[in-house]
């Protein structure tokens, strides 16, 4: 009887450790890691992820508005990413954040028209707007944005976040 109790306690302890590992917060992405994927100078930009009622908006803007060469690199990069997302290709995100990134598996199941992805150039960078009418994909986008925020941070960009409908509306 004592051996069974010890075995059960050992199994419970292993399950607790596995559960803790699975729910451990993601290690933030460092700028050197990100720099291997993006063509612009990461340290000179601000990136945000703002959830909306139907999805969310990713912004990448330059800190120094007079750096037009970096603005063009940001815009070209975001335009390329938007085209990949439209095609259901999240491989860059998966490479950077891992296959277990929250929301990612669900996003990869979306058909071409399930999620609208629109790139827009901004004077100081660019943005990608994600929207859908399907609740499962709204949830996946929100989980994905939360994970992006946890990994990259989410500083305020004056004048940007206020023009998007918040997720709670």
Strand partners, 57: 50, 129
- Which residue would you say has higher pLDDT here, 25 or 48? 48
85, exposed or middle or buried, with CB in 10 Å at 0-12, 13-18, 19+? Answer: buried
Residues 6+ apart with CB under 8 A from 114: 132, 134, 137
* pLDDT at residue 4 in the model: 62
* pLDDT at residue 134 in the model: 97
pLDDT reading at 72 higher than 60: yes
- Which residue would you say has higher pLDDT here, 84 or 20? 84
Under a CB-based contact definition with an 8 Å cutoff, are residues 124 and 61 in contact? yes
Average pLDDT of every residue of the chain: 79
User: Tokens for 155?
Assistant: 């500083």
For residue range 75-91, list pLDDT tens digits in order. Answer: 999 999 999 999 999 99
Its pTM stands at: 0.73
pLDDT reading at 121 higher than 70: yes
pLDDT reading at 35 higher than 50: yes
Cα 108 to Cα 140: distance, rounded to the nearest angstrom: 10
* pLDDT at residue 92 in the model: 86
Cα 24 to Cα 16: distance, rounded to the nearest angstrom: 12
Dihedrals φ, ψ of 79, to 5°? -65, -45
For residue range 131-167, list pLDDT tens digits in order. Answer: 999 999 999 999 999 988 886 666 555 554 444 444 4
DSSP state of 148: H
Q: What is the mean pLDDT of residues 106-112?
A: 93
* pLDDT at residue 24 in the model: 41
pLDDT reading at 33 higher than 70: no
**E strands, the chain, in order:** 45-52, 55-62, 116-122, 125-131
**pLDDT-based confidence at residue 32 (cuts at 50, 70, 90):** low
């Amino acid at each position: 009887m004592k051996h069974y109790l010890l075995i059960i306690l050992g199994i419970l302890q292993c399950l607790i450790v596995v559960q803790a590992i699975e729910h451990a917060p993601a290690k933030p992405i460092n700028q050197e890691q990100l720099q291997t994927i993006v063509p612009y100078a990461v340290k000179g930009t601000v990136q945000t992820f703002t959830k909306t009622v139907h999805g969310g908006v990713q912004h990448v803007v330059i800190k120094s508005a007079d750096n037009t060469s970096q603005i063009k690199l940001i815009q070209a990069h975001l335009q390329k990413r938007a085209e990949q997302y439209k095609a259901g290709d999240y491989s860059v995100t998966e490479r950077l954040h891992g296959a277990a990134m929250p929301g990612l598996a669900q996003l990869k199941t979306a058909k071409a028209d399930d999620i609208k992805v629109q790139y827009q150039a901004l004077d100081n960078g660019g943005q990608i707007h994600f929207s859908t009418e399907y609740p499962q994909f709204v949830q996946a986008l929100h989980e994905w944005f939360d994970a992006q925020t946890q990994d990259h941070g989410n500083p305020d960009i004056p004048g940007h976040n206020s023009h998007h409908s918040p997720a709670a509306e």
